[in-house]
């Protein structure tokens, strides 16, 4: 409040000084018209003069007037210059006074500003002191609050730690109980698994025993069936052999004579053509192989015959007709089956060469059964 009243007072003083300077300037100015310079005029008595003198006198008067006018103009100009100089001096003085007044006002304003600045500084200092006190008070309160919060936090942490310890102890007890329960459950499960495995093994053994009994029964049945089949096959083969023997005997009786006739003819032919070239061993082996192949194609072979063989002597006609077949050596069953195949394959394939035919008409065939 004091600061504002001081500022108002300085402003009023400054306005009053400005008004005073303005009045002084107005009073010092001369508002009258400038005085014209006076001149003395001589009165000349009129006399009659000639025109030349009149002209000279007129010229002289004109020159005097001109000089007077020039002097008056000069005096007037000087007076105006002096007036202007006085006015300029007054204006300069007024300006100097204004400058002084302005300097004084500025000094007053500066003083007011300094006072204001000082007042502001004091106010700022007071505000800072108050702020420092408030900060100190706030810091103290904050410290108290922080201490209280820390104590509350420590208490809460202690309570939490106690609660955690209790919870951990309870959890350990619960885990121990759960572990014991799980162990008991696992033991029971192991026992159940063992019992189930034992029962499963027992059931599997029963099933295996049943399957073994069924397999043995099936195997026994198969053995009986195989024996019956073998016996039936053997009987059939025996019948075939008997039939073959009967047919062979019948055929042998019919062809014995033909054989004798053939031998007789061959004897005659040998006497007539002793100079004919004999066939080679390769030709003979090839022809015998063809005959063996024809026999094997008509031979019914069983598993019981594998690994055995039979050698049979065959007497043939020129066209391959089997005249006689005789077992030389070998398995009896294989030989009997081979005899049936030889008779079934008759007539056997014969070459065109007469000499080779003669070599094959009395041949020993080695027959090996193959599936």
Query: Over the stretch 6-59, which tens digit does the pLDDT of each residue have?
Result: 667 776 777 777 777 777 766 665 555 555 555 554 555 555 556 777 788 888
Q: Which of 367, 327, 370, 371 is nearest to 345 (CA)?
A: 367
- Strand pairing of 362-367 and 322-330? unpaired
Query: Over the stretch 311-332, which tens digit does the pLDDT of each residue have?
Result: 999 999 999 999 999 999 999 9
pLDDT at 286 over 80: yes
Give the whole-number percent of the chain exceeding pLDDT 90: 28
- What's the whole-number mean pLDDT along residues 148-166? 91
Q: What's the CA gap between 145 and 148, in Å, rounded?
A: 5
At residue 346, what are phi and psi to the nearest 5 degrees? -65, 140
pLDDT band at 75 (very low <50, low <70, confident <90, very high): confident
The 3-state DSSP class for residue 366 equals strand
- Note the pTM of the prediction, 2 decimals: 0.31
Dihedral over Cα of 82, 86, 89, 91: its sign: negative
Largest CA distance in the chain: 237
Q: What pLDDT, on the 0 to 100 scale, is given for residue 265?
A: 55
Q: Residue 324 is inside which H or E element, if any? A: strand 322-330
Query: Over the stretch 327-336, which tens digit does the pLDDT of each residue have?
Result: 999 999 999 9
The strand pairing partners of 325, in sequence order, are 314
């Amino acid at each position: 409040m004091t600061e504002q009243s001081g500022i108002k007072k300085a402003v009023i003083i400054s306005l009053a000084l400005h008004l005073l300077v303005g009045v002084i300037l107005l009073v010092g100015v001369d508002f009258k018209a400038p005085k014209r310079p006076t001149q003395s005029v001589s009165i000349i008595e009129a006399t009659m003069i000639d025109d030349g003198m009149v002209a000279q006198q007129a010229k002289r008067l004109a020159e005097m007037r001109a000089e007077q006018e020039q002097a008056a103009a000069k005096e007037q100009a000087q007076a105006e210059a002096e007036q202007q100089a006085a006015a300029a001096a007054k204006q300069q003085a007024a300006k100097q006074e204004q400058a002084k007044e302005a300097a004084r006002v500025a000094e007053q304003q500066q003083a007011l500003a300094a006072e204001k600045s000082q007042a502001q500084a004091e106010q700022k200092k007071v505000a800072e002191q108050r702020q420092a006190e408030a900060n100190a008070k706030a810091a103290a309160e904050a410290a108290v609050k922080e201490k209280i919060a820390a104590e509350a936090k420590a208490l809460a942490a202690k309570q939490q730690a106690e609660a955690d310890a209790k919870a951990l102890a309870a959890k350990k007890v619960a885990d121990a109980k759960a572990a014991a329960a799980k162990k008991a459950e696992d033991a029971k499960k192991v026992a159940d698994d063992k019992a189930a495995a034992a029962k499963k093994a027992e059931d599997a053994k029963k099933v295996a025993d049943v399957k073994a009994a069924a397999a043995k029964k099936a195997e026994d049945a198969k053995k009986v069936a195989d024996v019956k089949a073998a016996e039936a096959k053997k009987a059939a083969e025996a019948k075939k052999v008997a039939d073959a023997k009967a047919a062979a005997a019948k055929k042998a009786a019919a062809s014995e004579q033909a054989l004798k006739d053939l031998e007789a003819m061959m004897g005659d032919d040998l006497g007539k053509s002793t100079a004919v070239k004999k066939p080679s061993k390769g030709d003979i082996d090839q022809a015998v192989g063809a005959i063996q192949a024809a026999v094997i194609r008509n031979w019914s072979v069983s598993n019981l015959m594998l690994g055995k063989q039979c050698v049979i002597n065959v007497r043939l006609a020129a066209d391959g007709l089997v005249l006689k077949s005789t077992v030389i050596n070998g398995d009896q069953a294989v030989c009997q089956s081979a005899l049936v195949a030889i008779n079934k394959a008759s007539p056997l394939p014969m070459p065109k060469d007469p000499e080779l035919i003669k070599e094959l008409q009395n041949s020993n065939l080695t027959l090996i059964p193959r599936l």
